[in-house]
Amino acid sequence: MNKIVLLFSLFFGIGRFVIAQDAPIIIKPYGYLNYEIIYDSYRSEDTRDGELYFFPRKPVFDSNGKDINKNSKLNMLTVQSRFGFNISGHEILGAKTSGKLEADFFGTRQDLVRMLRLRLAFINLTWEDTELMLGHNFHPTFVLDCFPNTLTFAAAVPFNPLNRSPQIRLTKNLTNIVSASLSFLMHGYHSSAGPSDQQRNSGLPDSQFQLRINPKNFLVGITAGYKFLSPRETTTTGNITKKRVGSYNLQGFTKINTNPFTVKAQVIYGENLSNFIMIGGYGARGTDNENSPFDWNSDYDFTNIKTLSLWTDLQTNTLPWQFGLFAGYTENLGSSDPFLTIPGSSLLRFTDLHSLFRISPRVVYIVKNLSFGFEYSWYNAIYADSFNEFYKPVTFLDPAINHHLLLSSKYTF
């Protein structure tokens, strides 16, 4: 036991010595501890024991015509608690260098909940008017200075895009208030619906361009991107196929910041937004009927599901009490071409929804680095009962309504 203590002492002692001799490298730890009580009045689609919440489930009726999902749920969780390190140091190649390493206990899927997960790990090189970022960071569509401040985890997914991916991003300040960035990304655990290696197999990155105008107390920006997927390497008859499916995303965002309050808003429209944990996916392009049966053995093409999502968020900037209100809407718009679901595949995410609406008032009480919060969310999910040939919902079920209540306490360090 004494030998183990000695080894740890030597290790950390040498580490401090190296940093001190090679100054100026500064490592600043940060993080928070978070405790939540979560209640749902209606059984819902979620993961990580309910921490990552999506929307109410599709109604399912028993033999007496009663909806079996009209049952409540309660849980207590701490899994989003996290820690990280901000690192800054030498000037290299004429640039200031910095980095970030962050982890939490959220896991990367339900069966790994409460396991350590890498959230962020990236390097920044910053020149006078240019920045190069390399590593695992938020997707450009998750705008770090313009996302919802909801207490419910994941910043209002599936209305707001959520994605962190390995990437390279170059940002250029064109003027004092205008900047542009170009990013190339490979999706990690936030991947599109379908085979896990379909983006790698395409041989092409997710490419994103963003333009921002950011004068004092105001922000407006646009994002445009395109990605490719290769769902399969051979046809069902074993012949090689090189067919890819491409999809685009378009986004606009704005923020107005005043002393009394901050207002944010965003709209996103695109094809196969499933990599953002939003409504989306793809299928085979074509029709299948008695007069013209679809040839599933052929080297067929693909078509995407289109999605529209928009939200707004209002928050006061007062202390110790802060009040906020979020509202969001998203809809399945179907595809541009005749659409067929591919048998035996899992290429769709949330596409049995026609639309989803959420409104969430919240209140937070802040005392130094400790806060207590309450948020009430009303979810209205309308599911499709039938689709047309473009996979656009045409008849609908009665709304599934959930009352989602969250009590939280957060200790930040």
DSSP letters, 83-97, are EEEEEEEEEETTEEE
- CA gap 307, 253 in Å, rounded: 17
Which residues lie closer than 8 Å to 275 by C-beta, 6 or more apart? Answer: 163, 187, 190, 191, 192, 206, 227
Tell me the backbone φ, ψ of residue 13, rounded to 5 degrees. Answer: -65, -45
Query: Which candidate, 35, 33, 75, places its Cα nearest to that of 404?
Result: 75
CB atoms closer than 10 angstroms to residue 30 = 13
pLDDT at 16: 40
- Cβ atoms of residues 163 and 142 within 8 Å: yes
Q: How are beta strands 339-340 and 370-387 bridged, if at all?
A: unpaired
- Alpha carbons 88 and 130: distance in angstroms, whole number: 17
Q: Mean pLDDT, consecutive 10-residue segments, the chain of 413 residues? A: 42 41 81 97 95 96 93 95 95 95 92 92 97 98 97 96 97 97 94 94 97 96 98 94 96 96 98 97 93 92 98 96 98 97 93 97 97 98 96 95 98 97
Residue 391 has, within 13 A of its CA and on its CB side, a CA count of: 30
CATH architecture, range 32-412: Beta Barrel (2.40)
Find, among 412, 390, 383, 379, the residue nearest to 41 by Cα. Answer: 379
pLDDT at 32: 97
Cα 194 to Cα 330: distance, rounded to the nearest angstrom: 22
∠ Cα 48 52 53 (to 5°): 125
pLDDT of res. 407: 98
Are the C-beta atoms of 305 and 281 separated by less than 8 Å? yes
Q: Are 245 and 231 in contact (CB under 8 A)?
A: yes
Helices (H) and strands (E) in the chain, counts: 2, 24
Question: Which pTM value belongs to this model?
Answer: 0.90
Instruction: Give me the pLDDT at residue 385, please.
Output: 94
The C-alpha R_g of the chain, in whole angstroms, comes to 24
- pLDDT computed for residue 290 by the predictor: 84
